[in-house]
Structure 1
Amino acid sequence: MIAAGLLLLAVGAVDLLRQMIRTRRVLAFAIAAVLLIVASAGLDALVAGILAVAVGAIWMWVVPENGPARAGLWPVALLGLAAAACVVVAPGRERPGLLGQLWASYRPGEAVSIDVAVLVIGCLVFLLESGNAVVRIALRSEMGGGAVDADAAPTLKGGRLIGPLERILVFVLTLSAAYTLLAAVLAAKGIVRFPEISRDRDDGNRAEYFLIGSLVSWVTSLAAAFLVWWGIRAG
């Protein structure tokens, strides 16, 4: 389970750093990699931390900041399979490392384990900006295999901000079993977007753009929530 959390944390951190930092990126990536490896050592998961850094570097190459992904949807599928495999193969650990022992000492009552906490943090970080990358890959794939220029694609105002907030809400509400509130949030998005979509009277591209982006975003959040739920049950 800890390996899945570190994996998603590394990939999510790569995309966040690319979005937030425009200069001295190499230094920022190096510092982030060292911090992740040090934290992994403190969690007695050094090998998993090193592999997570390697996967983050591969993700940065196959999923560029701008333009289509070099391998289409395959990087996303392989990342999901790798995270799921980590939860299946190693759902829980008896030796959580120094940081795990500190967590166990200070956590209130029967709180979640450090492995579950890292998995939740990894999912949250991944859903922020990497979720946008997943949606972008799906949209480019649907709109001609990446041949369509991003500037030529239909856009919806606030998508880069609404998307992460929406995914976090879906993730949290799903884990909280607040399904009624979850349905209300998803319905509210459609209602708010309806006036903007209804003006799309030419070929329906904006409506298709909205539907594909929303569905991919929701599926990504639900998959992350299921991964955490699976890890908790298996652990």
Structure 2
Amino acid sequence: MILAGLTLAAIGAADLLRRFVPRRAPRLLVLCVLIALVITAGICSDALVPAVIAVVLGGAWIWTMPLDATGRASFWPAVVLAAIVSATTALMPARDAPGLIGEVWHLPAPEGEIAFDVAVLAVGVVLFVGESANLIVRAALDREGTWRPAEQGGLFRGGQLRQPPQAATGFQGGRLIGPLERFLVVVLTLAGAYALLAAMLAAKGIVRFPEISKDGETGARAEYFLVGSLVSWVVALGAAFLLWWGIRV
């Protein structure tokens, strides 16, 4: 579990760094600090090997998942990552004595104390469903050649323009709405509030209906909405299930 948590945390933090630190030199400096923090956390929690593996997996993720979703690997790195974190969460339960941190760690909860490994996994999930999940959605849209209205980019495939841009420029807030929506999906799923979850997902469709209804005969907006939303929800539900499993292992 500690490997899954450190990996998701490293990837999620690195993607936030790539998105919000535009200049190369400061980005490399902060990235080095991030690597040092992950390694330090591994040393202090008696998980140096998992920490090193997490750094390697984070580097592989950055290499194969560019911010513009034009990587040749498409969204397959996300599939590989899902298999790795699922297997390590299932096969590596939370440890009773996580090194030096375990001697001072104490985080009470209504149903008992939260283990350090579970806390790391929770932090990793929260970081990953932010910008990292956005990359997965973009990669899926790019692979399917789906029109991107917010970017006024027409039809893209492999990062190349295939059709002229459409006149409409809707869905400008998707980069922010997506993470907030996934946070809510994770929280509501873990809380067992399935009725509220269904209502929220239905409300999104209602809010988007006026924009989608302008589709005409192309179906571009509907396809964009369906592909993007379904991929986003799958990532969020998978993250929620991973955390739920980690809590109960």
Could you tell me how far apart the structure 1 residues matched to 2:161 and 2:141 are? 11
Query: 2:42, 2:187 → 1: CA distance?
Result: 25
Q: Write out per-residue CA displacement over residues 27-84 of structure 1, whole angstroms, 9 at most, x where no aligned residue.
A: 1111111011111212211111111111111111111122412212220110000101
> Is 1:205–2:220 an aligned residue pair?
yes
Aligned to 2:178: 163
The aligned amino acid for 1:80 is: A
Q: What is the aligned partner in structure 2 of residue 107 from structure 1? A: 108
Deviates more, 1:158-167 or 1:95-104: 95-104
Q: 1:124 aligns with which of 115, 123, 126?
A: 126
When normalised by structure 2's length, the TM-score is 0.88
* Structure-2 separation of matches of 1:148 and 1:101: 54
Picking from 79, 88, 113, the partner of 2:81 is 79
Work out whether residues 140 and 148 of structure 1, in 8 Å CA contact, stay in contact via their aligned partners in 2. no
Which structure features the higher share of helix residues?
1
CA distance in 1, matches of 2:238, 2:102: 26
- Do the aligned partners of residues 74 and 108 (structure 1) sit closer, same or farther apart at CA in structure 2, a change above 3 Å counting? closer
Q: Which runs of 5+ in 1 are unaligned?
A: none
86-95 or 6-15, larger mean C-alpha shift: 86-95
Task: Tell me, yes or no, if the aligned pair for 2:170 and 2:211 is still in contact at 8 Å.
Answer: no
Q: How many residues align?
A: 233
- Indicate conservation of the 8 Å contact 1:68/1:140, yes or no: yes
* Aligned amino acid, residue 78 of structure 1: V
- Partner of residue 152, structure 2: none
Question: 2-side partners of 1:135 and 1:38: how far apart?
Answer: 32
- Determine whether 1:16 maps to 2:16: yes
Q: 1:191 to 1:95 in 2, by over 3 A?
A: same
- Aligned counterparts, 1:182-221, within 5 A: 182-221=197-236
TM-score, normalization: structure 1?
A: 0.93
The counterpart of 1:27, out of the listed 20, 26, 29, is 29
Match of 1:57 in 2: 59
Q: What is the percentage of aligned positions where both structures have the same residue?
A: 50
Counterpart for residue 7 of structure 1: 7
Match of 1:232 in 2: 247
Distance 1:228 1:157, change over 3 A: same
Tell me the distance in 2 between the aligned counterparts of 1:8 and 1:67: 19
Residues 59 and 75, structure 1, Cα contact 8 Å, conserved in 2: yes
Contact 1:155 1:206 in 2 (8 A): no
Q: Name which of 69, 72, 75 aligns with 2:71.
A: 69
1:95-124 deviation line (CA, Å, top 9, x unaligned):
2122233223x5357232111111111001
**Inter-partner Cα distance in structure 2 for 1:78 and 1:181:** 31
How big is the shift at 1:155?
5.4
Deviation at residue 195 of structure 1 after TM alignment: 1.1
Q: CA RMSD in A?
A: 1.9
Q: Higher relative contact order by CA 8 Å / sep ≥ 6: 1 or 2?
A: 1
1:172 corresponds to 2:187: yes
Distance 1:81 1:92 in 2: 18
Deviations, residues 117-173 of structure 1 (Å, cap 9, x unaligned)? 111110010000001001001111111752544994875221000000000000111
Consecutive unaligned residues of structure 2, counting only runs of 5 or more, are 146-155
**Distance in 1 between residues matched to 2:6 and 2:235, nearest whole Å:** 17
